[in-house]
Structure 1
Amino acid sequence: MTLRIAVIGCGVAGQAVATLLADSGHAVTVFERFAEPRPIGAGLLLQPTGLAVLRALGLGEQAMVRGARVDGLEGRTHRGRAVLELAYADLHPKAHGLGILRSVLFELLHQRLHRSSARLRVGSEIADVVRIGVTASVVDRSGATHGPFDLVIVADGAHSSLRQRLMPAARAPLYPWGCIWTTVPDLDGIGAARQLRQRVRGTTEMMGLLPVADGQLTLYWSLPVDQLAPGRPINLAAWRRTAAALWPEAAAIVDHAAAADSFSRATYRHVALPRWHDGPVVFIGDAAHGTSPQLGQGANLGLLDAYTLARAIVETGDLTSALASFACRRDGPVRFYRQASHLLTPFFQSRSGALGLLRDAFMGISCHLPGMRGLMGSTLAGTRRGWLSSVALDGEGRYRLDG
């Protein structure tokens, strides 16, 4: 079965699925609205799940060389009280995550896409998808029609321009909090611990430092979305004082970030679709299930979507069966991470002092309770299938894609 496939969006999920499907012999065209495809977003944490997909693409070793190994997650209050203490080694002694610049991950995927047979059409913003029987054509902003295609994969991100048009019942409200972020040199040696480290004061102040390369960290700071409006200035002098008071050990990093003034802004959506696909149109990645970044799963879920969809098409004899298989396999894990992220986020980003007190009182203790530590560790690693089950790592501490 050779399919004509359109992929809308040249991000993490879009490039991965296009490459995998092209390698399987399908005729794939990627439509990207920018004239020069580029990454959007901060450094990110690849979990054992995302790393497994990169290995399937032949990119695992390159990612490890250019990223930074992460062995766990540490979160503390401004007074030093632990609220999160998780280690991948609790799942398997060889398990780990990988901090990586989004630009580096994009570059690896983009080079891999170019080595496949997929065609890339840049400067082509898709405004609509038109169903024609069991096929579909895509229409760009100029009014030009492309296709028909047997399958259209929408992977244009959490702020998808097509989602509401094609699935009016979809919900995608903005989270009330987002962040500013930048990449800084590790002046205080914080990355040597090989952990994603966070400091919080209540639920209104949160700073994180993620190792993303040798001697480099991505710094992020939580802010309400009304302070992230385009054109609204950020008072870096006030931020510098607040951040240094929250995390004195990182004062040199804070000073450097304030002086460099190279912060970017990020907002997030809580995306829920009524279904994965409608006929020959399927959604993947953040366009299908955007969440807050609190659990660090966005890119990993998108990579798993890409692998699972490509695999389902290879394994089944027809597209209808493939899409049904894909939806069945992704429903449970995606539902879990969407729900868990939505439940957890207000304990770290909200104006509820009560939630902050509950977090400080109980969450750190929960990390060391039998059963709870396993649940929280497997949630971090991305291996949950749902609230009651997860996928065990193999003998090398790796996620089994077909497990």
Structure 2
Amino acid sequence: MTRPLEVGVVGCGVAGQALSVLLAEAGHRVTLFERFAEPRPVGAGLLLQPTGLAVLEALGLGAEARARGARVVGLEARTSGGRRVLDLRYADLHPEAFGLGLRRTDLFDLLFARLRRSRAQVITGREMAGVERMQLVEPDGKRHGPFELIVAADGTNSVLRGALMPSLKIPLYRWGCLWATVPDPEGLGASGLLQQRVRGTTHMLGLLPVAPDRLTLFWSLPVQALARERAIDLASFRREATALWPQAAPAIERATQSELARATYRHVSLPRWNAGPVIFLGDAAHGTSPQLGQGANLALMDAWALARSIEESGNLLTALIAYERRRASTIRYYQRVSHLLTPFFQSRKAPLGWLRDAFLGAAHEVPGVRGLMTSTLAGTRRGWFASVPLDAAGRYPLS
């Protein structure tokens, strides 16, 4: 872009913070609005893939993220009886490739400190209810702007999306999770694997290393059991989770004694990602179930792709078209695969569990299928028939 843009960003999550830094440091005048007086992360832990890690490196945060997090070498899912369901290793893509388990608080702290060092203006305690004439409007009618570009990065339950696309249906997945990050003195995460245990489609327990001495535990539950007005049945959780995975009993016991976070998810699929010069980013544009663990990675890549498209384009319209071309095939692929896989792990459809257990493990041995699975995990797919190869150092090449 040949001149600075006036940009309003709504939402201080992963996408909003990363984009604000990238645009502000490219010389654009960026104002980020956050509805909380003190911005804070939601959730317990996440898995950064080579894609997300590449963006953190570009932001100058890679080394600190690696110091805080835990190196993850792959994903292993087994039934309660020990039968292999998934066994994927980043080394199949490149010997130096890895994921990074990280607490959401750590990722937020890194991005927020980076945001504070940039030239972006951050205004907290302001909820935006709509857009009129390229001004952001609060519920009481107070206006901000006008802006040349407005970015709605206000999450899965985006208020701006609801205001601009009121007829759009954003269904809630019928299953969610309990999350907790706990100490790991027994070294359950020492293998460097994201480990899961499943029984049918109704029971799933996962352990993700997120720091040298910490694990994030997640336990699958129907959304009815996660309602805010309902108390969590800790005795049932402890009993059922321990029966599913006895070796994880210490982590389960610590989770029942900590503050458990409840998480539900929506399937967000927009007919378009922009309403004129208002563009949706991250979960506001393409929220999915966490089955593939791609949320933060897609958000970081969205921010990078939009900033790069603006930098390379002569005007805003061209930039938005270029952004869609950059992201469309990847987003479409991950939305479809996540939506397809979810019922095989979280549903009341028992036959899907039988099919998963019978065929998914064997599918690893089919030529080409293992590579497809591993590159899907790593976030490098651009569709069913295309993937971006890692570079000579095992890193994702940003473009």
Which category describes the TM-score, using the shorter chain as reference length?
over 0.9
**Partner in structure 2 of residue 397 of structure 1:** 394
- 1:271 pairs with 262, 268, 272, which one? 268
Gaps of 5+ in 1: none
Q: Does 1:53 align with 2:55?
A: yes
Write the distance in 1 (CA, Å) between the matches of 2:395 and 2:339.
27
One-letter identity of the residue aligned with 1:172: I
Give the TM-score, by structure 1 length: 0.97
One-letter identity of the residue aligned with 1:254: I
Write the distance in 1 (CA, Å) between the matches of 2:144 and 2:249.
53
Q: Does 1:355 align with 2:357?
A: no
Q: Does 1:25 align with 2:23?
A: no
C-alpha RMSD over aligned residues: 0.8
Please give the per-residue CA displacement for 1:285-335, whole angstroms capped at 9, x wherever unaligned. Answer: 000000000000000000000000000000011000000000111110000
Could you tell me how far 1:42 is from its partner in structure 2? 2.0
For residues 3-402 of structure 1, what are the structure 2 equivalents within 5 Å? 3-131=5-133, 136-258=134-256, 260-402=257-399
Note if contact 1:333-1:384 (Cα within 8 Å) is conserved in structure 2. yes
Note if contact 1:170-1:271 (Cα within 8 Å) is conserved in structure 2. no
Higher alpha-carbon deviation: 158-167 or 206-215: 158-167
One-letter identity of the residue aligned with 1:332: S
Could you tell me how far 1:169 is from its partner in structure 2? 4.9
Give the TM-score, by structure 2 length: 0.98
Gaps of 5+ in 2: none
One-letter identity of the residue aligned with 1:14: G
Write the distance in 2 (CA, Å) between the matches of 1:261 and 1:108.
24
Note if contact 2:273-2:285 (Cα within 8 Å) is conserved in structure 1. yes
One-letter identity of the residue aligned with 1:274: P
How many residue pairs match? The answer is: 397
Write the distance in 2 (CA, Å) between the matches of 1:163 and 1:322.
21
Write the distance in 2 (CA, Å) between the matches of 1:326 and 1:214.
37
Could you tell me how far 1:49 is from its partner in structure 2? 0.1
Note if contact 1:187-1:252 (Cα within 8 Å) is conserved in structure 2. no
One-letter identity of the residue aligned with 1:63: A
Could you tell me how far 1:236 is from its partner in structure 2? 0.6
- Helix, strand or coil at the partner of 1:291: coil
Could you tell me how far 1:276 is from its partner in structure 2? 1.1
Write the distance in 1 (CA, Å) between the matches of 2:165 and 2:230.
32
Could you tell me how far 1:235 is from its partner in structure 2? 1.1
Note if contact 1:27-1:118 (Cα within 8 Å) is conserved in structure 2. yes
Could you tell me how far 1:190 is from its partner in structure 2? 1.4
- Helix, strand or coil at the partner of 2:330: helix
Note if contact 1:49-1:382 (Cα within 8 Å) is conserved in structure 2. yes
Write the distance in 1 (CA, Å) between the matches of 2:280 and 2:65.
26
Report percent identity of matched pairs: 62
Could you tell me how far 1:261 is from its partner in structure 2? 3.8
- Helix, strand or coil at the partner of 1:69: strand
- Helix, strand or coil at the partner of 1:325: helix
Note if contact 2:6-2:30 (Cα within 8 Å) is conserved in structure 1. yes
